[in-house]
Amino acid sequence: MNSVKKLFGIEYPIIQAGMVWCSGWRLASAVSNAGGLGLIGAGSMHPDVLKQHIQNCKRSAKHPFGVNVPLLYPNIEGIMKIIIDEGVKIIFTSAGNPATYTKFLKDKGLIVVHVIANSKFALKAEDAGADAIVAEGFEAGGHNGREETTTLCLIPIIKKAVSIPVIAAGGIADGKAMLAALALGADGVQIGSAFAVSEESSAHINFKNYILSSAEGDTKLAMKSLIPVRLMKNEFYRQIEIAELNGANREELLSLLGKGRAKLGMFEGNLIEGELEIGQVSAGLDQIQPAAVILRNIWDEFLKQKDHISKIEI
């Protein structure tokens, strides 16, 4: 049996990425009820908001779900306490050192997955006792690795480095890309952008429509001197770009970034001044659908392409 399905007790080895301002309990439970693993994105939630989302998800999800926690965010201790107290069974940690919380969480009985972008942190996560890792390539939206290793180059390197299950992320939005990831050796896939434009995504409709109308080259890895993050190009992105071209230092960039830019863009729909995190694969997305339909289409296309590939004469 597929190691990712077995680990989480799910029907398809497809994880919906925990995304700031997009993946609350509605999206996570929709994906879980459709047979994938839904993740609540804690990165954009105050602890009390997260608590509410977990409680709602527990009520509405009939199958396993989890929470994604970016370790560089504030209130981490409060967030971890809520996750434990609410009896969450699956946690994905990202953007930080896997050694910090993995043992603590494993001791509490949780399944722990850590998101990495290079083999150094993949090994660290495995050594810390993580149950699996998400290997995220350069094309992924949001926070990203400094090495800029693409999913196609990253998965084989990570599979060689560790023996725990590897979930591929970055550039995957359909069944053909899912098959490509498995061909490279991945045990499952994590999908963000395709679910960011789902009906149940809490992203603002302006942001969803902006994603759907985007084309090749419309996302870029920005803020490399702070922490690399893949953004949709807009006026805010251009301000960051100009500042970086002019050699802005860390403090100047932090000041330009300010507070609440991601909420302003992704949740409140200000496409000019807001920060819009999304993956490169968004260039190929063209409609808003229920998460269950998106998941089903990915799975059906995966099976169809797998069948096609197994039969082609080359």
Site of interaction with its own copies (CB under 8 A): 1-2, 5, 12-13, 118-119, 137-139, 146-154, 156-157, 160, 170-172, 174, 176-177, 179-185, 216-217, 220-221, 245-247, 280-281, 283-284, 305-307, 309-314
Residue 138 CB, shortest distance to its own copies, in Å, is 6
Closer by beta carbon to its own copies, 107 or else 313: 313
In this structure, the number of other CB atoms found within 10 A of the CB of residue 133 comes to 28
The residue type of 281 is V
Residue 129 CB, shortest distance to its own copies, in Å, is 23
Residue 156 CB, shortest distance to its own copies, in Å, is 6
Residue 120 CB, shortest distance to its own copies, in Å, is 8
Closer by beta carbon to its own copies, 50 or else 186: 186
Residue 121 CB, shortest distance to its own copies, in Å, is 11
Closer by beta carbon to its own copies, 130 or else 184: 184
Closer by beta carbon to its own copies, 86 or else 244: 244
Closer by beta carbon to its own copies, 56 or else 289: 289
Bridge partner residues of 134 (DSSP): 115, 167
Residue 254 CB, shortest distance to its own copies, in Å, is 18
Residue 70 CB, shortest distance to its own copies, in Å, is 22
Closer by beta carbon to its own copies, 200 or else 277: 277
Closer by beta carbon to its own copies, 236 or else 299: 299
